[in-house]
Structure 1
Amino acid sequence: MEGLAKVYSGVLTLELHGQSLLDNLPVTQSVHLVMDAPWGYALWGLRSWPRPVLVVTGNPSPHYLRDLLDLSPDGLVADPIGPSELKEALVRISQGHHFYHLPRLEPDPLCPREREILRLAALGSTNREIADGLGLQAKTVENYMNTLLEKLGLRIRAQIPLYYFGLLESCQKWSGK
């Protein structure tokens, strides 16, 4: 019996390219590939997609990668690999193995609550929405935001999504800062 190999992506072109890559994949069990585009797509859907699943992302943010790992995908690729290695990873995952190809993650300077607030702010939640969702006072969330900005070397809250999605350096280079 041949297994199902399905691709999920928020970008149709990537989904089609991924499905083309998976055509004739020699798997006997189902396996699913998530092409994390736009960045954040995997965070939104990973809990609901069928397993086993391999996530491929280009997001270099260690906080984002940790948040993906917390969702326990069967595999996560965040460093470049070729099509043959990707196919091999999918076959291994379909056989019940795990596959992780990541940059070295240094110890996280953020506590779990700070990382949770960072993720929610990066995904567009206001301080009030974060406070209500986590059962915190608005002033407590404001204090967390100030601590996050300081720890991450950011000047303003608007930089949080850029930082979290690995785009801050690109924006700074583009703006000449």
Structure 2
Amino acid sequence: MVFSDNDTLRLHGEALCASSPLPGAAHLVLDAPWGYALHTLPHLPRPVLVVTGVNSAPYLRDLVDLRPQGVIARPVGPQEVLAALGRVAEGECFYEGPVLEDGLLPCERAVLRRLAFGLENAEIARELGVSRRTVENRVGALREKLGLRGG
């Protein structure tokens, strides 16, 4: 099966997969719009390959933490996607993308991910079950680590 929140991309993925049957079952997540894979992956059957155009280390670290069997985070052609699906179907696990060393703690990545979706500190605190002050501290740490100015 092919999963994407972009219907056109999903249909192209389905056509690609139908054009070349795989030796085993594997699912394809086309991460569009960006962030779709983070929300969907925990609920999907395995094995799964995620193809994304995101090159943000914190985002990719969160994605890898969800343990898909394969992640491709670079430009890729249809034949490479089919080959990667075959690798996943055969039980191989792999990651192809930028280095994931970002220096952020998991709790900081959780806050960053929610900031990226436009949540306010109070909303983030509620979602994470922490105090607003804790979220403010983590935002401060993120600004420092990522070299961002206040705003």
What is the count of residue pairs matched by the alignment? 151
- Tell me the distance in 2 between the aligned counterparts of 1:134 and 1:66: 18
1:90 matched residue in structure 2: 85
Residue 147 of structure 1 aligns with which residue?
141
1:55 to 2:19 alignment: no
- Give the distance between the partners of 2:3 and 2:29, measured in 1 at CA: 5
Deviation at 1:99, TM superposition (A): 3.2
The question of 1:133 aligning with 2:108 is answered no
Q: Mapping of 1:11-30 within 5 angstroms? A: 11-30=6-25
Mapping for residues 89-108 of structure 1, pairs under 5 Å: 89-105=84-100, 107-108=101-102
Distance in structure 1 (CA, Å) of the matches to 2:29 and 2:14: 11
Task: State the alpha-carbon separation in 1 of the partners of residues 129 and 95 from structure 2.
Answer: 34
- In structure 2, what is the equivalent of residue 74 of structure 1? 69
Question: Could you say which residue in structure 2 is the equivalent of 1:119?
Answer: 113
Give per-residue Cα distances to partners, 1:89-121, cap 9 Å, x unaligned.
11121121123211223x222122111111122
Structure 2 CA distance for aligned equivalents of residues 22 and 156 of structure 1:
46
Q: Among all aligned residue pairs of Structure 1 and Structure 2, give the percentage whose two residues are the same amino acid.
A: 52
Kindly report the root-mean-square deviation, in angstroms, between the aligned alpha carbons of the 2 structures. 1.6
Q: Output the TM-score relative to the length of structure 1.
A: 0.78
SS of 1:46's partner is helix
Per the TM alignment, residue 156 of structure 1 is displaced from its structure 2 partner at its CA by 4.8
Question: Does residue 1:44 correspond to 2:39, yes or no?
Answer: yes
Question: Would you say the 8 A contact 2:55–2:97 is kept in 1?
Answer: no
Give ranges in structure 1 of 5+ residues lacking alignment: 1-5, 158-177
Does the residue aligned with 2:2 lie in a helix, a strand or coil? strand
1:153 positional shift:
2.0
Comparing 76-85 with 133-142, greater Cα deviation is found at: 133-142
CA distance in 2, matches of 1:134, 1:38: 24
User: Which is higher, the Rg of structure 1 or of structure 2?
Assistant: 1
Distance in 2, matches of 1:61 and 1:109, equals: 13
Once the two structures are superposed, the pairs formed by residues 136-175 of structure 1 within 5 Å of their partners are 136-156=130-150
1:23 is paired with a residue whose SS is: helix
The AA in structure 2 aligned to 1:117 is: V
For the 8 Å contact 1:36–1:55, the answer to whether it is kept is yes
Counterpart Cα distance in 1 of 2:148 and 2:7: 34
SS of residue in 1 equivalent to 2:3:
strand
